[in-house]
Amino acid sequence: MNKTILCGLTIDEIYEIMQSSGFRMDHARATANQIYKKGLSDLSESNKLSKKLKMFIKEKTLSGLFLPESSFISSDGTQKSVFRRHDGRCYETVMMSEGKRTTVCVSTQSGCRMGCPFCMTGRYGFYGNLTAGEILNQIISIPLSRPVTHVVFMGMGEPMDNIDNVVKACTVMMAEWGLVISRRNITVSTVGITGKVKQFIKESPCNLAFSLYSPFPDERRAVVPVEKSYPSIDIIEIMKSDDKHKDRRLSIAYIMINGINDSDKHLEGLIKLLKGSRIRVNLIPYHPGPDDVNRSSSEKRMQHFRHNLTISGISASVRKSRGQDISAACGLLASQFEQ
């Protein structure tokens, strides 16, 4: 008999499984608490569930929680964990702590099919979407010394290419019976699939980050394949017109590559594109993969961009590079699989 995997289900879905056997909503809530808050992979070990409920769970369900097969620690304290799907395909998760903030960077796919040449995950290929449970398990089952405060969907895969599972995972993260993470601390990143971005804006209150590469469509089209089908200007307009959640953080992720997209012309293009909007800019160092001749813009150049964006009324920051020595930095996930 096929058993139902619990991780990834909402409390209503857990209750739907249980109610025909005489269990109440409070039993579903207790079960959800043991999975999402306690992270119990074997619910028979719980002292919060009745014997009858534990017998039902053992017969009908699986927790869906499992540990990573390996983990690596960077010299800066960043932790990368490698998970393996039931079909053998891998995906990676990154955890970063700084001050009181602990951020987990989750994957949404094994590999990616967007084909961006500056991203090692795209070079790895595409091997399937992750379920909502597999996304959530990355937060629940990685080795942690303190609670997760922030989640970013910036690992392997294009979140909008797996939108239904991403929205469902966000729902569980925010729920009081789930992971209880504030929507203001959850950010979903995308290279832009117009219809799916609209769906996300409509169905989720979480933050949205758009990976731009260049403010000029012809330059972006030459490097980012989805620009041909889903123009960046359309994504920007969707972001500008979002008024459903006025406190939702909308941002541009701008990877800076020396001599490629860091000229004053690019700076002026960014200012023209975003001035007067509430969209902020995260300037990100470029991390070259093997045999890549491109290099990141200098710290001085990135600060020049930040300063001029800021004085133009556009909130901007320079993201600190983390975990490069274990291939955990932006754009490097799956690099060891590629090799």
Indicate which residues carry an active-site annotation.
Answer: 92, 330
Q: Which residues pair with 101 in a beta bridge?
A: 98
User: How far apart are the C-alpha atoms of 302 and 255, rounded to whole Å?
Assistant: 10
- Residue 317: C-alpha distances to residues 270, 283, 284, 310 (Å): 14, 6, 9, 9
What tokens appear for 105 in the block? 């960077």
Tokens of 299: 């710290």
> Who's near 70: CB < 8 A, 6+ residues apart?
81, 82
φ/ψ of 203, rounded to 5, equals -100, -20
Contact 137, 155 (CB under 8 A): no
Sequential DSSP letters for 154-202: -SSS-GGGGHHHHHHHHHHHHSTTTT---GGGEEEEES--HHHHHHHHH
Q: Is 229 exposed, middle or buried (0-12, 13-18, 19+ CB in 10 A)?
A: exposed
Could you tell me how many helices (H) and strands (E) the chain has, helices first? 12, 14
H helix intervals, the chain: 11-18, 25-32, 51-60, 120-124, 132-140, 163-174, 194-203, 217-223, 232-241, 264-274, 299-311, 335-338
- 72 in helix, strand or coil? strand
